[in-house]
Chains A and B, each alone.
Chain A
């Protein structure tokens, strides 16, 4: 009996101990009382034997609270943790700063103004105080030291206050110290990413370089290097992808046979070339295209790749180079499916961008004489008519327009409509429609050579569109500042602008095309003091 009693007492005491032990961890909860994960993480933090274990637990804990935007609760919880275990102070300091930083952002984003105005100053104060404590309590060798510096810089950067520069310089110095001994370079990459987001390109590149150096000195194989580069490309981190590809290309140029290397380089170039969707860097693509040329010869490019390179240059707006490459293309691949498009683009680029009207005309003539009809053949006849009409040779212009109507028959409705409008002008002895005439004057008359397309950005949301696909055409004139005195601008749109009829005050419009072809979109922007500039863009509809 006595034994039984003592057994019961032992079990009771055991259960009591377990309950009290568990209570140690459940006391802190303020919002997720029943969350097993929270209890488990708290336990991990309290019992962590290594810094790594501690950091991982804190990261998970942060996620738990941040996912529900429970910032104040998190701070409260962190404070209760440090009361239990003072050694956690370095971590807690950092996470309080981080939490308050995120909280202010969240309040602003959600426009929770009552809390913002009543507690904003307190939170701001906590950010700087706790971040400084974290910097002081975590040594240079600890990544939390770097992260605390990052928070402090971001905070001052957001405030655009006088501490911004010092905070950035401190951050960079801390990283220099950190990398002397660190094995984990993830913080370096994260800071580089953040700097890039904030537009600190130079500093960001500096850190990416450190990160890349770490990767390449770690004995990584060429294949792994390429794989890493591709991984970063897929993440959308083009800076890092390019840096790693650069190292990869430098290495492999020396170690791989030309025949093997060129296809690899071609793949990289294709990755970065212009496409309507997905990560792209047309300048980097051209850099790799040049490398291919260096390793092999110009002849190494097949039809598709050569076209892709020319198209990529066109979208980079390097028009002289694009024109040269399209010219090389049309000389080499006479039967290409892209031949009419390439010829037409050379004509447009030569005439309206490079102001070489005779060269342009020769390409339009070449197309106009073709028996096989295409949208570009019809458009070339229109261009020849238009240039004659602008040159006041209405007879010749009429001939081209009539030939166009004859060849087009019931097809090519968009260009046919434009040709009919021009014919009507000739018949009624009227000048060319004002928007178009102004564009032609600004693009072709020598005295307007200063309208060099640098003062207006003109962009299409899609450059390889399908019929009836919605396309956004946007323009952005770069004009001098005028404060709250708004400069009145007029936008003169002309050319193949599809189904839209943008008015004079529209800097952008949405359109669709009902027929395939290469569509030229012309723009002139006018202010009170005259023409600001002109621009032209080309959209291919298939």
Chain B
């Protein structure tokens, strides 16, 4: 073997060795990658989370699939009872009848303003709705909004008490598979304006400028919500936290003092459409939105008669706009995750909550005025909103399955058809003008 041959053999040997090393390295990298991916896979994604897409749109992901909230506010108070009635423990289980009707309509979510007193009963309702009908639950907390004389958001003791109540609620229900997300408050932000449930503290009282006073209240309130959201995230990483808010009022301050919330849960009564709601929210507080209270009543206060069509007209139009603004509809804003209609059934106690006799009567006196619901705005004193007539399902004194008989209204059927093929209903589009 001459020198040259030897070198060649040596070189071949080195090359073989180098190849081996290379292969080993590749195998090692591959193993590392597999281990890394397995590691990733072992870290579970939250059951429910919000995904921000590349185009800036938002999607709600539930069990790894996009989820559109098609919901109702659910508070099935029977005729003759008021809001204190513990329907959660009703042996006739109204949610069984309602859940079936909801499922048939296409509803996938219910919203509870606050859970009942008995956690076992509440869990039973959540489980039944989820296991029997696939209906998920949004649970809220009033945050002491209705406390007498007012909710003292500027008071440390008050805040601590509410924090405890909220953390107890989360710990109690966070492992229920049917839970979708949490809502903090409802229209509590209006209390910062000083007209409903007004509250204050010494520091605010000293400030003479009313605008500054208002902003001080907002800051206190939204910072408190931020603390609550942080607290919930530390207890439960599986469900988003929503800020319940009346309209978009105060959200420019929430944008600074309340970054911990995952989404906004808005209460909106703007009639036929939501106007510039989605665009405004994007501009002021770029969080996704679920309309957790909206809708229309089914009583024409002007003609003094039930008008199911009027309700269906408003709801269909509102849902059209909700769908336009869901993610990946390139013409929409893409920040809407869905909505929960106010509400599933009528509540006969609402007109006069202090008079038990009136809870047995379906009152037709209107409670408040809203010009956006224009068909009956000419009613006396412009009071056209009939609080006892917001259900998309009417209830009757006739009993069926041990509960007040359910009679779906026109809106039930119109929305059922809408949800069967929502894209068909969104067809009218304007192409870019030439």
Contacts and interface: CB of A to CB of B under 8 A. Distances in A.
B276 A125 contact: no
Contacts of A135: 433-434
Contacts of A166: 430, 432-433
A528 B190 CA distance: 13
A113 B332 contact: no
B269 A483 contact: yes
B242 interface: no
Given A124-B428, A160-B276, A113 B309 contact: yes
Contacts of A159: 273, 317, 320-321
Nearest to A136: B434
Nearest to B278: A162
B430 A160 contact: no
B196 A116 contact: no
A334 interface: no
A529 B194 contact: yes
A40 B307 CA distance: 44
A132 B429 CA distance: 10
A167 interface: yes
B430 to A, nearest CB: 4
A111 B305 CA distance: 14
A117 B193 contact: no
B275 to A, nearest CB: 5
A481 B309 contact: no
B327 to A, nearest CB: 14
Interface stretch (A346-354, A484-492, A534-542): A484-492
B193 A482 contact: yes
A452 interface: no
Contacts of B310: 111
A160 B195 contact: no
Contacts of B333: 162
B339 to A, nearest CB: 16
B267 interface: yes
Nearest to A161: B324
Interface in A474-501: 479-487
A482 B331 contact: no
Interface in B385-431: 385, 387, 410, 414, 424-425, 427-431
A162, A173, A529: residue with the most chain B Cβ atoms closer than 10 Å: A162
Contacts of A161: 273, 321, 324, 331
A507 B380 CA distance: 12
Interface string A520-534: 000000011100000
A470 B310 CA distance: 35
Nearest to B431: A132
Interface residues of A, number: 40
A89 interface: no
Interface string B134-159: 00000000000000000000000000
Interface string B317-345: 10011001100000111000000000000
A155 B428 CA distance: 10
B154 to A, nearest CB: 15
A483 B428 contact: no
Interface in B155-212: 187, 190, 193-198
A484 B267 contact: yes
A121 interface: yes
B316 interface: yes
B301 interface: no
A121 B324 CA distance: 14
A113 B430 contact: no
Interface string A153-179: 001100111110011001001000000
B195 A529 contact: yes
B373 to A, nearest CB: 11
Nearest to A160: B273
A178 to B, nearest CB: 14
B428 A125 contact: yes
Given A111-B310, A116-B313, A117-B414, A484 B432 contact: no
Contacts of B331: 161-163
Given A480-B193, A483-B267, A484-B385, A111 B198 contact: no
A162 B275 contact: no
B122 interface: no
Nearest to B316: A117
B187 A111 contact: no
Contact of A108 (B196, B276, B313, B429): B313
A436 B206 CA distance: 30
Contacts of A507: 381
Given A482-B190, A483-B267, A121 B427 contact: yes
Contacts of B196: 482, 485, 487, 528
A456 interface: no
A96 interface: no
B247 interface: yes
Contacts of A160: 272-276, 321
Contacts of B431: 132
Contacts of A156: 430
Contacts of A152: 430
B367 interface: yes
Nearest to B434: A136
Contacts of A262: none
B206 to A, nearest CB: 16
B368 A486 contact: yes
B375 interface: yes
Contact of A125 (B316, B367, B427): B427
Nearest to A507: B381
Contact of B198 (A129, A483, A529): A529
28 contacts: A113-B312, A116-B313, A117-B312, A117-B414, A129-B428, A132-B430, A156-B430, A159-B320, A160-B275, A162-B279, A162-B332, A163-B331, A163-B429, A166-B432, A167-B433, A481-B190, A481-B246, A482-B187, A483-B246, A483-B269, A484-B368, A484-B385, A485-B187, A485-B246, A487-B195, A527-B195, A528-B195, A528-B196
10 closest residue pairs by CB, A with B: A113-B309, A483-B246, A170-B433, A480-B193, A160-B273, A124-B428, A163-B430, A128-B428, A486-B368, A487-B195
Interface of A: 108, 111, 113, 116-117, 121, 124-125, 127-129, 132, 135-136, 149, 152, 155-156, 159-163, 166-167, 170, 173, 479-487, 507, 527-529
Interface of B: 187, 190, 193-198, 246-247, 249, 267, 269, 272-276, 279, 307, 309-310, 312-313, 316-317, 320-321, 324-325, 331-333, 367-368, 370, 375, 381, 385, 387, 410, 414, 424-425, 427-434
Given A111-B375, A128-B428, A484-B370, 12 more contacts: A132-B430, A132-B431, A135-B434, A156-B430, A160-B273, A161-B324, A166-B433, A479-B195, A481-B193, A482-B190, A483-B187, A486-B367
